[in-house]
Structure 1
């Protein structure tokens, strides 16, 4: 089995031969005399300064760019004598390594005493240095391609709570509605409904009662309300409006009674979606009683939409001519167009 190899970093390299022609003539020229060369490595610009005019042949690596990261740029320079005729092997290697941040940061390298340079490396009064610069590259931050990102699964909390309601496990209160019993959990009810919170954990009489009788709601509506409290869903309203109008009306009343504002809004939207002559009167009355302003406006808009619809609604409501006149003068109708009913 082959050994796996992982690169933990990457290095950019560049190498050149630096020829100092007339090497003997540079002797004694002092430290101000230098030979310059510009390098570009990994996108950074650097300058190599060669000082051959002192007792020691010295080099300086100068950083001319701005580091791309706050940690700076780690770079090194290595030099050795080489024989262009290849009669001699490269001679010794000297190096310097620095971390650069800003332009003009530098690292100095004292190469060797010019008087100790083997004569074989000086050909026709020319000294050749092989110089190599290495720059440690900044590795990109590993990222996961978008197509490989696994989306988190959708929440299933409502499913777990729905199963808890259905299993009755740990239930500590039982409701009686129209001779049907429903087991539930006080803390869940209290967390969802301010009315249940006051009933079970306030000063109301059912605080310690394990059985609570519901006298103002049908069993089907109470069951649907419990399901909403546990799951935040209302499957009983998923069918067309004409099939669930009565349930939506009952749940609207229940939601307002127990402070379930989201359920109340769901019922209001459902009932607004297709008002009919048969349901208009009852829905209008509920909207008025439970402060559903948008639903009330929808009902009134439907009732006065045409003279025929208006008259049909009057008949459905069993309203006499005298009562019609009284209704027209009420705030609910005063801002609406009046159709002649003959």
Structure 2
């Protein structure tokens, strides 16, 4: 069976972040030969120091997904530590173009571990929809996986030196900008620089982006100069479903009124012109 239908994989770019283009050779034959729960696995490819594969089930997995293609990203080099990653699984058109309607991104960073080695979609795309829209070329289905491995050290948070600052405050009154009266005694105090705390907060926000909070996080990133958080929000919103959910969230109206320019930048950079909601936003900003 492997001689007649297979997955070939080609790495596009990157080290911590890569795009892998996968071709399902002889789509129709794979669908005819492989039953529900039976699949094909790509050759391993390396991202962020770990080996990954794509698992493709032409007739779905599990049993209640026979009308769908199921698609999963699997970690092959699970070690003692968990691996956090962001990924997007997409269908490419006949000419290699990305099809936004068939691009899926999880709402949050996924953790791959010994217990859970794969994540993906039971109902990635309906077989009938794929075949009716003629997205196959020479009976070959082309997919793309964009994956970014998230390392804890990506945000450089310096070690705490709060003890030194507190000690300096007790020794002198230089640059004091407020005085507290405590027990009848005046105590000079300072509007304190919390740069390290800001970096810690940015790191936490980058790791917990979801549809409900992404609009609020994007507004904070723009207003306070958090470039990494802004890029992480933009990456999350490349998914059509995530973008649509963001426009229905409580924070969207605040983002639109307080930072309209960041929405224009978002649309210009990553939102395809085919998105109806994107066109509506352009008209209202």
TM-score (norm 1): 0.34
Larger relative CO (CA 8 A, sep 6+): 1 or 2? 2
Greater C-alpha radius of gyration: 1
TM-score (norm 2): 0.40
Q: Which has the higher helix share?
A: 1
